Structure formats: structure tokens, C-alpha cells
Structure 1
Amino acid sequence: MFTMALKLPSRDLIASFDSSDVDLADAQTLPPECYTDADFYEFEKEALYYHEWLCAGRESWVKNPGDYFTTNIAGEPIVVARGRDGKVNAMSSVCAHRAMLVAEGSGNTRMFLCPYHHWAYGLDGKLTGAPAMEKTCNFNKEDHGLTRFAVEIWHGFIFVNFDLDAAPLAPRLTDVSDAISGYDLANADGDKPDKPGVFPWNWKVMFENNNDGYHASKLHQGPLHDFVPSDLAEFPEADPADAGFLRYNGTLHADASFNATQKALLPVFPNLSDADRNRMTFANIPPTLSLVMMSDMVIYLILRPTGPETMEQDTGILVAPGASKHPSFGHKMEMNMVAAMHIIDQDMHVDELVQVGLRSKFAPRGRYSWQEGAQIQFNRWLIKRYRDAYDRLTSPKLTAVKGAA
């Protein structure tokens, strides 16, 4: 998916990442242009989105054969569907004829019919019908299906990869999987979120905010958050080659949850360890999925950039299996969400103003507190992929191919 017109970052910018890829005590934040520059965003799509595993949604959104939903990640329209064989498929929703989208929204269908010229596709993306094409030379339906993507299901989340040769996801998430196994997320209850939120900031601003334990006791100080103090933050080591990383934050009492009582109101996930019940766990699978995990509720964020300074996000809730069937569930969830939305509103206000600040000619490359250990893990994850992409795109072999083109 390499674009010939792609403008690569300067060597100086790539070299400047070195100071963000050192020990936390010595590190600087990433250069501001990584959050604002249109050319860098195009490079980032090649470095991250065209080759990494991207969370598209939950497997429960396509429970039955024929169920489908659509999404758009970094400008690429995607349709996810469960086939008659029970397999989950992910494809480009761009018609192979004239680029009309063959699917919108979500629902259940026998096939995807392009409304423009009625080319028909199976739930696996294969072209099954193309009216009035019998006079077209050398036209074979087998060659004109929807572009298929790699699919992997991880803890009930559907991941897609545009790169069919990409290494599998799960083997690079063993530490994260072990840490969250008690939540049994594959079987957790949770409805499909409504319309995604649309936000005027770079996706990394959102991802960093969700990883930032440093601000919790400052921005969120008060009875809705003081039981999760910043000085109880922990940052397990992670290999930048892995697909994700963790952050823990200890709580002042067991089964802490975001509501006015500070305690879990919903049924606790039944398989949690004592350690799980005395902390909040933040599991991150960049660039698209971030999990905030409490004893009775998991908030998941599916992040999708729409430009260098804009993004949209699905925000969903998962609870213990069967919890949503209890008669008092709606009332208790409402109590949780009143507190959660108060905290989220504070974060949104900060995210918007951080993006404004990043545009300034005076935007700094700041220093980190020890309570920002997850930020250095995120930096290392990003920088490895930025460097790998830069090296790949400036390799003599690729340069020769570009010259020949």
C-alpha cells in the first residue's frame, strides 16, 4: 500500500526520536510535529496502519451468519461479516468495479450488492455476480472480489491487518493476555456502542491520556478518583516488538470502581485474582485499542484517526457474563457512568487544549515524571515502527524500484 507520492520525514526528525527512546529519567516527549503535520500523518499510516493489527470491533457484533458491520480506519472503509461457515471475514468495502462502497452501517445480509451497478459479493468478499460483463475481454470474476484482510480474534475483539504477511497478533501479546485473563473478555457482556465520538485532536493525544497515571491525582482530584492515587502506578517492562503493553494503578481498597460509593456496584468478574481486585489494569494494543479494567467494569476505547489532528472513537463497556441480565443493572450502570463521564469530560477538555498547544511554535519537547512510565513504553513502540518504516522506504532496493517506476 506504499504511495509513490509519500513524503518521508527528514533524517533529522528520525534522529531526534533518539531522545524519546532512552530511560524515562532522561527522556523527552516526541516532537510536536508528530501530532500535527499532515506529511507525518501520511508516513504514519504506512509505518503503523498498513502493517499493524487494528481493532475493528467485537466478535459479538457479528454473532450470526450474515451479520456485518462497517468501520473506517485511517481512511480505509472496512466491512466485517460472519460467513455462512461461521468464519469472521474482513474486507475492503470498496467495489472492485468503480470504487462505490458496497456496505454501510450494520445489519444482516445474504450478500453485499453494490447499489451503483449491482455487482454482488459473498460474505467472504468473492464476486458472485457482475451484470452485462460478458462482452468485456479477459474478465474473470475470480480476479475481482473485494480486497480481503487478515483477521484475528483476541479476547473477543476483532483485529484486522491490511498486510496479509504480517506476523500473528496473539504470540506478541502473551504478557498482556496473561495479565487480563481473569476478565474472560471473550464472554463478557456488552452492547455495541452507538455513534462514535468525533474529536479535534491527534489519536496519540488520546492514547497517551489514557496511559497517563501522572495526571490522575491532579486533574481528577476529588471523591470520584482519589482512591486511585498516582503514586501507586506501576509499569511492567515491555518489548517494543510486542504488540501491546500494560499499566497498573493500585487502589486504596479492593474492588474500587468509578462511582460515588468508590466500590464495585456490579458483579465482580468471577475469575479475578486478589491482585486484580486491588488495582486497576490498563491494557494497550496500539494503535487502536486501549482498555481500562476495574473489578466490575471494563471500558474499551477503539481509536481511529481521520487526519493528522482529528480522530473518532468507539467507547464501549464490558461487564461480567450475565451481569447485564440483573433487574438493577441499568440503575447501577447509570451510577457508574455518571462518575465515568465526569472524569472523561475532564480528559476531553485537556486533550483538546493539548492539541492547541502542540500547534504552537513554542510547543516543547518536555520531560517525564516517574509516574509516566507508560508513555516511554508507547514511545518505544512507536519509534521502532517509525524507524523500521523509514529504513524500509529508503532502502536501496525500494529506491531502485521507485526510480524504475
Structure 2
Amino acid sequence: MKPQANENIPTLRGARQREYTDALTFEQELAQVFDKDWVMVGRQNSIPEPGNYLTAALGQRPIVCIRQKDGSIRAFANYCLHRYARLLDGRGKARRIVCPYHAWTYEITGQLIGITDPKGFGNACKSEMGLEELACEVWLGFIFVSLRRDLPSIASKLAPLAQHLARYDLSSYDDRYVFDEEIWAGNWKLVYENFIECYHVTYSHKQSIGPTNPTRLAELGPRSHQQFSVHYNPYRPEDLPEVHNDALDEDERRRLLVIGIYPNALIAIDANFVWWMMLEPQAVDRTNGRWGLSFTPHAMTKMKDPAAFAEKIREVIHTATIEDKQVVAAVQQGVRFGAAEPGFLHGTLEIYVDEFRQYLDRMLGRNEPTLAGKAKARR
């Protein structure tokens, strides 16, 4: 990233501290952001066969995604129509879905097919009843779900990003590690903002990626996209990975791509693997980060010991996650002071934090633009 003259760098201000601690703001974000946009919930390769399912949350709404007999994936609200008990937990395979409370039974299509002691329910017609189905799409191997059925497709929203990632063939990656629970002691926005800025890498990741992908080498990616952000953390020349995908160009071989897809998806792409995480806000100061590591078949079939390589990467990412959790918790503790004045953002290295806040302003109907937006309007 080439230095710029100070007069060309906008003065950016971050969020006010109360936005990370205020319960009303948190509830508005669940209703206006997570209920009204596409939310990433998993990887399609983790449910490869009919009846395979994964459970997740849209914000705090429990949902389940199930592979169908025709190979498609459908998403449903994860509660029984009778007394609202959660139907499925974790991951698994089901021929049919049976409620653990009163044994109402559903096909994997969501259709209700069995009511125990049916005479007690009068004229209830099970043939007309089924689980609430949600919008569900697969994009480059990632599953996105939305409460709304009238949104433009996630594929159309992310078309420029898909073109940018075409040579990686992410849909073919093998999901070697999946962790459904990683609790962060921080507001979901703090976790998201930490991932999409490269200012902290050298200083916070001293035991993991800081030495190999230092902040000083960071490069900006595409700007001003309303659904995603991309920046690059290149490797030092002496730390360049061995690359087994001949389709990648020179830049793709030397870079770690860091991608945020609003509102909850975080993806880092190396020449040989992808590290992904999806955020589920559990409370104003508590977030679950489901994450995993998926590896390109180009690397897994050509390496001498792919299992050892995968385990090495898992250890590095595990360490990086611990480091990130520590700094996010420290920020959450700091914002409890409740200062009225917002902090500052680095005019280049944290520019995507500002763009993320512009996205939130749009979704929450906040009319006040960010300082970067004001500067752009003046120009």
C-alpha cells in the first residue's frame, strides 16, 4: 500500500461507544439488518447427501438447512408448528424430522405428515401444514438464507465478487474442519470490524499471521461495493506458500484475500485454503462465530502430506482466533465507559470499517452520512 499525502486521506470517525453496548440498538440491528438481508449460514459440502442438515441462526432466529432428494438445499424455521419446540440441533442426517416434545413428524421437505393423537386437534388439516420455508441460495459453495423472499438474489448482489474469485473454484473445496461454536465476548460489529481491517495484523497477531502477512504489505481492494469489501494481506516473499492451482495469477499466489460480505460473513482466501466465519449475535456483548477451514483439491491431491498441512493451518488459524478474541474483548470492556465522542479510523487501513458503517446506516434508516460520505459529497 503506497503512502499517500495526508491531505488525500479522509479523516474518519468510528462508531460511538454506546452503539456496542446499547440494547435498543442491538434489537434494531436484529430486526433491520439480520431480518432484512441475506445471511451466510454454512457450506454446502458439509451436507452432501439427502437428509443431511445443519442448524444455524439468522441473527437469533433458529433455522435448519436440509439437503433434499433432488440435491437442492432448502431452509426452514427450526421450530415445531405445535408448541414451538426446536426440532433439530447441530448437524446430522434425518430421514424424517420428529419433534422431541410431542413427536409431530415432518418430511425433509418441511411437510407435516404426522400428528400424535390427531382427534384431539379437531379440524387441523396436516396436509396443508408445513414448516415455514425461507429463501435459500448457494453462492460459491456458501449457503445464504433470508427471512425475506423478495430480495434480489445473493448471486446478483455478489456478481462482481464472484468474478474476482473465479479462478479459485471455491465450490469444489473440501471442508476439513467445521466449528459450530466459538463464543466471542464482544458485540457482533466489533468481531466483524476487526476482521475487515488490516491495521491490527502486525500488532495483534504476533504468534500467527502477523510475521508472515505484516500490516506494511497490506493492499486495498475494490471500493464502495454495497454488499461486500475486499482487501489483501500479501505474504512476505520468504513466506510465500507452495501453490498447486495453476489457474491462479501472480497476485493471487502472493496474497491472502480478506473478504467481508455484509452483514455476517467473513472469508480469508489463500492459494490453498479458505478460512470462513459467520456471525450469530447472541447478546449485545456476546457473539457466536461459526467457522471452518476448507481446502482446494488442487493442493490436497498434489501435496505429499495434505493431512499434516491442513493440521498446520488449523493451528495457525486457531492461534489467530485466540488473538482476535482477546482484542475484541478488550474493546468491549473499553466501550463500557460510554464516551460521547467517537474514536478515529485509519484513512486507508480501516477504510472498510467506514464502508461497513455506511451499510448499517442504510439498513437502519439512519440519514446521517459518515464523514467519508460527507467528504465524497463535497467533492
| C-alpha displacement of 1:327 | 5.5
Aligned to 1:399: none
Aligned-residue identity in percent: 25
- Superposed, 1:334-353 pairs within 5 Å as 334-353=311-330
Residue 234 of structure 2 corresponds to residue 234 of structure 1: no
Matches of 1:339 and 1:132, distance apart in 2: 54
Residue 247 of structure 2 corresponds to residue 295 of structure 1: no
| CA 1:83–1:368: 2 relative to 1, 3 Å | same
Conservation of the 8 A alpha-carbon contact between 1:74 and 1:307: no
Matches of 1:174 and 1:127, distance apart in 2: 37
| C-alpha displacement of 1:135 | 5.3
Matches of 2:185 and 2:307, distance apart in 1: 31
Matches of 1:102 and 1:221, distance apart in 2: 43
1:293-315 CA distances to partner (integer Å, 9 max, x unpaired)? Answer: 11222111111111111011122
Aligned to 2:165: 180
- Superposed, 1:6-405 pairs within 5 Å as 25-134=10-119, 136-220=121-205, 224-231=209-216, 232-240=218-226, 243-253=227-237, 262-264=239-241, 267-321=243-297, 323-324=299-300, 328-362=305-339, 364-369=341-346, 370-387=348-365
Matches of 1:215 and 1:336, distance apart in 2: 20
Conservation of the 8 A alpha-carbon contact between 1:251 and 1:280: yes
Amino acid across the alignment from 2:17: P
What SS does structure 2 have at the residue aligned with 1:312? Answer: strand
With 329-338 and 184-193 compared, the bigger mean Cα shift is at 329-338
Amino acid across the alignment from 2:270: M
Long gaps (5+) in structure 1: 1-22, 254-260, 391-405
| C-alpha displacement of 1:195 | 4.2
Amino acid across the alignment from 2:225: D
| CA 1:279–1:33: 2 relative to 1, 3 Å | same
| C-alpha displacement of 1:364 | 4.4
What SS does structure 1 have at the residue aligned with 2:118? Answer: coil
| C-alpha displacement of 1:270 | 3.8
Give the structure-1-normalised TM-score. Answer: 0.82
1:96-135 CA distances to partner (integer Å, 9 max, x unpaired)? Answer: 0111112122221111011222211111111111133345
Conservation of the 8 A alpha-carbon contact between 2:35 and 2:59: no
- Number of aligned positions between the proteins: 358
With 104-113 and 339-348 compared, the bigger mean Cα shift is at 339-348
| CA 1:24–1:145: 2 relative to 1, 3 Å | farther
Superposition CA RMSD, Å? 2.4
What SS does structure 2 have at the residue aligned with 1:95? Answer: coil
Long gaps (5+) in structure 2: 1-7, 369-379
What SS does structure 1 have at the residue aligned with 2:239? Answer: coil
| C-alpha displacement of 1:24 | 6.8
With 329-338 and 175-184 compared, the bigger mean Cα shift is at 329-338
Matches of 1:388 and 1:57, distance apart in 2: 30
What SS does structure 1 have at the residue aligned with 2:13? Answer: coil
| CA 1:49–1:312: 2 relative to 1, 3 Å | same
| C-alpha displacement of 1:225 | 2.6
Amino acid across the alignment from 1:294: D
Conservation of the 8 A alpha-carbon contact between 1:32 and 1:365: yes
| C-alpha displacement of 1:72 | 2.7
What SS does structure 2 have at the residue aligned with 1:190? Answer: strand
Amino acid across the alignment from 1:133: P
Matches of 1:135 and 1:215, distance apart in 2: 61
| CA 1:289–1:30: 2 relative to 1, 3 Å | same
Matches of 1:86 and 1:119, distance apart in 2: 25
| CA 1:281–1:330: 2 relative to 1, 3 Å | same
Give the structure-2-normalised TM-score. Answer: 0.87
Conservation of the 8 A alpha-carbon contact between 1:234 and 1:248: yes
Matches of 1:106 and 1:309, distance apart in 2: 26
Conservation of the 8 A alpha-carbon contact between 2:272 and 2:299: no
What SS does structure 2 have at the residue aligned with 1:264? Answer: coil
Amino acid across the alignment from 2:319: H
Matches of 1:167 and 1:307, distance apart in 2: 29
| CA 1:83–1:329: 2 relative to 1, 3 Å | same
Amino acid across the alignment from 2:315: V
With 61-70 and 136-145 compared, the bigger mean Cα shift is at 136-145
Conservation of the 8 A alpha-carbon contact between 2:208 and 2:319: no
| C-alpha displacement of 1:336 | 2.9
Amino acid across the alignment from 2:360: L
Amino acid across the alignment from 2:205: H
